[in-house]
Amino acid sequence: MSQLKSILLQLTAALSLDTIPQAKQLEATLTMSDSTGSLAPKSNWNSINPKPEPGYFQTIQYPSADHLIIHDTLYGTHTITEPVLVSLLQSPSLLRLSSVCQHGITGLLGFTPRVTRLEHSIGAFLLVRKVNATLSEQVAALLHDISHTALSHVVDWAGLSTPGSGSGESFHEVHKTRFVESTDLPSIIARHGFGPEVFNEGSFPLVESPAPHLCADRLDYALRDAVGFGKLDLQDARRVYTSVMAYPDATTSPHRMLVLTDRDLAMTLARAYLAVDRDVWSNPAHISVYQRAGRVIGDAIRSGVVRESDLWGLSDREFWKVLREATDEVGKESMRRLEVEGLPEDENLGLPVGTKVRTLDPDVLGGGGGDDDDDAEAGGPGGGLTCQALSVWCPAWAEERTAYILARKRLQGIESS
């Protein structure tokens, strides 16, 4: 290691790496730099001795070939022994997601915590596992984001396809089948007696359900981002994990869903989710950075200087390096400004039409807790267990959520009728 790199690593060690995401990012970047100091991750796993990069909240240990241990800050420690799960978590096709940031360019450049696609995928799997879902549903949860590209949803702003003919699908969803067929995953699945339906997460309602309901995908990124961005206490996130259950059951009902059992906790989660959407997911400054990076990517791929296949074949850091070397001077300047200017001020930025606005209206079983629950002992209004959306239990949340959505539409220049 060069003397300069040693000095810089000593400087990051002097910072509070547990509390400063930028310091964590700098440490990771320096540690994984190649000899030239450019952004490039180590190719540090293979199918025999997998070593995925650690996530922001999660690490994996491989004590032997037939079991592994997941340490998750939110969900605890879990030993995995099912052969199909162990095989999948040894596959480079899945483990590559450990070098893909959930927040794409903002995660790569250290503007946001470096939560990875792999830890989110594993988190969704742990959620359905917790509620005793079938093994097929656990596999579907683990694989639900398998086709995500380098820089995640940034690529949706590259104009590389017309996703789903207006269906709202993202680039990785449009090209999922093509990617999966190029990997070892179908053979792994078949070897363990599963069919291709596990690649269709939409067939597994605990994994994917329409917004604003809870599902494993939505709940996991909600918890990781809400804690990562300081919108939700870690202990509250752990309480959500403890509270969540499947209703009416985890295996047979075609309408099964994830629900909470505490109304106050559901409100805390819903408001944290809204706060992350306001400040991150549909924040004009973050969207602006996505758009600018997406334009460089789209121009480079359309002109042929970067291959579309590199989106799946390279990590975030590798792809950014290749893009910088290949793009024209206009692209290089755009990349340089993204790296040095940080997030722009968002006061004068509008929100592009089509930006997804996310809110949550979790279903709550029996009304859960809450000072205004007169029927708590009976399990809900009218006696017995009742499962209803938070907005039904708490009309104030319905008003708050609706007001937020309307405000977001106005930011997009859409007037409500």
For 362, the domain range is 214-280+350-417
Closest CA to 290 of 104, 110, 121, 161: 104
Q: Is the pLDDT assigned to residue 221 strictly greater than 70? A: yes
- Number of domain units in the chain: 1
- Establish if 314 belongs to a structural domain: no
- Establish if 410 belongs to a structural domain: yes
Classify each residue of 81-118 as buried b or exposed e, where b means 16 or more C-beta atoms within 10 Å of its C-beta. Answer: eeebbbbbbbbebbbbbbbbbbbbbbbbbbbbbbbbbb
- Establish if 286 belongs to a structural domain: no
Half-sphere exposure in the Cβ direction for 43 (13 Å, CA) = 7
- Establish if 414 belongs to a structural domain: yes
Can you tell me the distance from the alpha carbon of 343 to that of 363, in angstroms, rounded to the nearest whole number? Answer: 35
pLDDT tens readout for residues 58-88: 999 999 999 999 999 999 999 999 999 999 9
- Establish if 407 belongs to a structural domain: yes
- Reading the block at residue 15, the tokens are 């910072």
pLDDT tens readout for residues 96-145: 999 999 999 999 999 999 999 999 999 999 999 999 999 999 999 999 99
Q: Around Cβ 235, how many Cβ atoms within 10 Å?
A: 9
Return the higher-pLDDT residue of 152 and 375: 152
- Establish if 402 belongs to a structural domain: yes
One-letter amino acid identity for 279? D
Instruction: Give the pLDDT confidence score for residue 161 in this predicted structure.
Output: 73
pTM of the model: 0.84
Can you tell me the distance from the alpha carbon of 388 to that of 197, in angstroms, rounded to the nearest whole number? Answer: 30
- Establish if 364 belongs to a structural domain: yes
Compute the C-alpha angle 223/103/323, nearest 5°.
Answer: 165
Write the secondary structure of 4-56 as one string of H (helix), E (strand) and C (coil).
HHHHHHHHHHHCCCCCCHHHHHHHHHHHCCCCCCCCCCCCCCCCCCCCCCCCC
| Stretch (H or E) spanning 245 | strand 245-247
- Establish if 135 belongs to a structural domain: no
